Amino acid sequence: MTAEIITLRKVSKVYGSGESAVRALDSVSLSVRERDFVAVMGPSGSGKSTLMHILGCLDVPSSGDYFFAGEDVAQMGETELARIRNRRIGFVFQQFHLLPSMSAWRNVELPLLYRSTTGRRERALRALDEVGLANRVDHRPNQLSGGQQQRVAIARALVTEPTLILADEPTGNLDSQSSKDVLALLRSLNEAGHTVVLITHDAGVASVAGRVVEMSDGTLRERAAA
């Protein structure tokens, strides 16, 4: 039996109030187990980013429950939430969010600076090796292609050995070959044991995941296996 990493029970999120209230999530339930690879797919405005913010402990539900690795997120204080964001979730964004003045390995090392870990450089180099960039560790972002920059960002997400990798439109800024490379990398990381949630509006992108859930107007439903 594998552990449940994400448990959402009837989670709703309402922005604003009164006439202008928007129900961005409407009673969403979802469970993601260790080693799953789940794509959350839906058109613009369907609630994907809202869901991502809640899953990433960047925002809280208006109602319903969220358990991360069995722990009730509503019961956590800011310190504990920050700890989960920094150590247990590896974020990958559409914009790579790399620091331009720093080399690849310095960028990857960043999440480790919050704690006194020895061997930070070695860990950063190992993560870069995992994403196939062992030969680019001293390059700065502007010396790398878009696909390589996103692989650096994935190495940065991996370096803390997170419980969950949360990727929001990771191929949104990439050409088709780089997109394929990044998706193949996410798939191989999943095969190596990482739990991955991939958020996308693109059915082709979603199809690399073993499981696809579809969002529409704030509701979520499981797509039948092909």
Among 27, 49, 86, 219, binds Mg ion (CB under 5 A): 49
Residue 153, Cβ neighbours under 10 Å: how many? Answer: 25
User: How far is it, in rounded angstroms, from Cα 164 to Cα 157?
Assistant: 9
What is the residue-wise DSSP string for 2-67? PPEEEEEEEEEEEES-GGG-EEEEEEEEEEEETT-EEEEE--TTSSHHHHHHHHTTSS--SEEEEE
Among 6, 28, 46, 73, binds ligand ADP (CB under 6 A): 46
Among 5, 11, 39, 48, binds ligand ADP (CB under 6 A): 48
- 156 contact choice in ligand ADP, Mg ion, none (CB below 5 to 8 Å, kind-dependent): none
Which among 37-45, 62-70, 71-79, 107-115 is the span making contact with ligand ADP, rule CB under 6 A?
Answer: 37-45
Strand 211-216, strand 219-222: pairing = antiparallel
Q: How many residues bind Mg ion (CB under 5 A)?
A: 2
Binding status of residue 94 toward Mg ion by CB under 5 A: no
In the complex, least distance from residue 150 CB atom to Mg ion, rounded to whole angstroms: 17
Q: Which residues pair with 12 in a beta bridge?
A: 63
Within positions 101 to 140, which residues make up the interface with ligand ADP, using CB under 6 A? none
Residues of this chain that bind ligand ADP (CB under 6 A) = 15-16, 22, 24, 42, 44-50
Residues of this chain that bind Mg ion (CB under 5 A) = 48-49
